[in-house]
Amino acid sequence: MEQNSGQSIYDFGPSEKAINKTRRRIIGDNEEFTGGAFPLERKIINPVPLSKQKPNIVIIIMEGLTASHIGILNPDGEGLSPGFDSLAKNGILFSNLYGHETRTNHGLVSTVGSFPSILGISLTCQRGEVSINTLGTVLKQFGYQTSFIYGYFQSFDHMGSFLIRGGIDLIIDQDDFPKPMFLGRWGVSDEDLYKKAHELFNNYTDSPFFSVLLTSSNHRPYDIPPHFLESHPEYSKNNPFAAFLYSDWALAELFSKASQSDYFKNTIFVVIADHGEVRDPQDQLLKRLHIPCLIYAPMLIPEPAVISTVGGQIDIATTLMHLIGYPGSFQFVGRNLFSVPVNDGFAVLRNNETLLSLINQVVLVRDIRDTLSQLYAVDNQGRVISDSIITNETLRVELNQRLEEYLQMLHQFYTKWYLTD
| 3-state per-residue secondary structure call for the chain | CEEECCEEECCCCCHHHHHHHHHHHHCCCCEEECCCCCCCCEEECCCCCCCCCCCEEEEEEECCCCHHHCHHHCCCCCCCCHHHHHHHCCCEEEEEEECCCCCHHHHHHHHHHCCCCCCCCCHHHCCCCCCCCCHHHHHHHCCCEEEEEECCCCCHHHHHHHHHHCCCCEEECHHHCCCCCCEECCEECHHHHHHHHHHHHHHCCCCCEEEEEECCCCCCCCCCCHHHHHHCHHHCCCHHHHHHHHHHHHHHHHHHHHCCCHHHHHEEEEEEECCCCCCCHHHCCCHHHEEEEEEECCCCCCCCEEECCCEECCHHHHHHHHHCCCCCEECCCCCCCCCCCHHHCEEEEEECCEEEEEECCEEEEEECCCCCEEEEEECCCCCEEEEEEECCHHHHHHHHHHHHHHHHHHHHHHHHHHCCC
User: pLDDT of the chain along its 421 residues, tens only?
Assistant: 433 334 455 777 778 889 999 999 999 999 999 997 788 999 999 999 998 889 999 999 999 999 999 999 998 777 999 999 999 999 999 999 999 999 999 999 999 999 998 988 888 887 666 678 899 999 999 999 999 999 999 999 999 999 999 999 999 999 999 999 999 999 999 999 999 999 999 999 889 999 999 999 999 999 999 999 999 999 999 999 999 999 999 999 999 999 999 999 999 999 999 999 988 877 889 999 999 999 999 999 999 999 999 999 999 999 999 999 999 999 999 999 999 999 999 999 999 999 999 999 999 999 987 789 999 999 988 999 988 899 999 999 999 999 999 999 998 888 776 554 4
Beta bridge partners of 171: 148
Q: What is the pLDDT of residue 417?
A: 63
Whole-number Å distance between alpha carbons of 96 and 307 = 8
Amino acid at 148: F
Neighbour count for residue 375 (Cβ, 10 Å) = 20
Whole-number Å distance between alpha carbons of 95 and 290 = 9
Question: Is 56-343 assigned to CATH 3.30.300.10?
Answer: no
188-193 contact pairs (CB < 8 A, 24+): 188/151, 189/151, 189/217, 189/224, 189/225, 189/250, 190/151, 190/215, 190/216, 190/217, 190/218, 190/246, 190/247, 190/250, 190/251, 191/225, 191/250, 191/253, 192/151, 193/149, 193/150, 193/151
Whole-number Å distance between alpha carbons of 403 and 401 = 5
pLDDT (tens digit, 9 = 90+) per residue, 175-198? 999 999 999 999 999 999 999 999
Give the residue extent of every domain in the chain: 56-343
Residue 273 near residue 251 (C-beta atoms within 8 A):
no
Q: How many residues does the chain have?
A: 421
Neighbour count for residue 257 (Cβ, 10 Å) = 13
Q: What is the pLDDT of residue 132?
A: 81
Burial 295-326 (b: 16+ CB within 10 A, else e): bbbbebbeeeeebebbbbbbbbbbbbbbbbeb
Q: What is the pLDDT of residue 6?
A: 40
Q: What is the pLDDT of residue 191?
A: 98
